[in-house]
Amino acid sequence: MSSAPTAFVAALRDELAGVLGLLPDERRQVVAGREFWVGHLHGQEVVVTLSGIGKVAAATTAALLTDRFRARRIVFTGVAGGLGPGVRVGDVVLARSLLQHDMDASPLFPRHEVPGYDRSRFETDGHLADALEQACMRMLGTLPQRLDTAAVVAYGLHAPRLHQGLLVSGDRFVATTAESQALQNELPEALAVEMEGAAFAQVCHDFGVPLAVVRTISDRADDDAHVDFPR
C-alpha cells in the first residue's frame, strides 16, 4: 500500500456488501483471520474490512487497521438498535460520542468510566462527522423517490430522520423491552445501541486516528428485536 487509506468497516458482511461492490480493483489480504480488501473508491485509497461482532473483535480490527494498514481515518457503519424516543427503524444515527454501556469497574471507578482514561465517553472526529452529516442529509433527502413502496409498507418505514449524539456499545444483543428500558433509564441521552463502535473509539483515541460511526436503525432493541433485526 503506497499511502494512508480511508478505512470502511462494519461488523457483518451484509452491512458492507454495497461498499465492497463499488471497489473495482480490490486486493484481498487475510490478517488475524480477517479479510481486508485494499483498493480504490472514487479514486481514493481505501481499505475495507469486517470487524466481527463485539468489542474485542472490534478492538483487534481497529488496531490492525491503524498499525498494519496505516488507515488515516476510519468510518464504521452498519445497523443499531434504537433506544431514544423517536429513533425508529429506518432512521440513521450519526455518533458524536460513544460509550461502553457494559463497562463497570465500580466502586473503584465511576460506572461507565474506562479505567486509565479518566472518561466514559469518546468523541468522534468533528470534521469526519460533519462530512457524514452532509452525506446523510443528501441521501435522506432523495430517499422518498428511491424507496420502493412495497418495502415501505412491508418494513413499516416512514420518512427516515437523522439523529446525532451518543451511541452506546456493549457485548450484548439487546433484545428485550426490559433491558432496553433499563439502558434508557441509565443513559437517557443514548440514541442507539450496538456492539462495536465504542471499542473502535477507544482504540482510535489510543492511536490518534479520526473516527466516524454511522448506523441505520434495524430494530428498537425490544422484545421484537430478534424479528426486526434480520428483516
Note the residues at the interface with ligand ADE (CB under 6 A). 79-81, 173-175, 193-195, 218-219, 221, 225, 229
Q: Which is nearer to ligand ADE, 77 or 124 (CB)?
A: 77
Distance of closest approach, residue 219 Cβ to ligand ADE, in angstroms = 5
Q: What are the DSSP E strand ranges found in 113-206?
A: 121-123, 162-169, 190-194
Find the residue with minimal CB distance to ligand ADE: 81
Give catalytic residues, as residue numbers.
Answer: 15, 219
Q: Which is nearer to ligand ADE, 71 or 195 (CB)?
A: 195
Q: For residue 71, what is its C-alpha cell? A: 488507515
Distance of closest approach, residue 180 Cβ to ligand ADE, in angstroms = 8
Residues 6+ apart with CB under 8 A from 65: 7, 9, 47, 49, 71, 74, 209
C-alpha 192: how far from chain center: 10
Q: How many CB atoms lie within 10 A of CB 66?
A: 21
Asked if residues 36 and 30 have their Cβ atoms less than 8 Å apart, the reply is yes
Q: Which is nearer to ligand ADE, 10 or 204 (CB)?
A: 10
Distance of closest approach, residue 222 Cβ to ligand ADE, in angstroms = 8
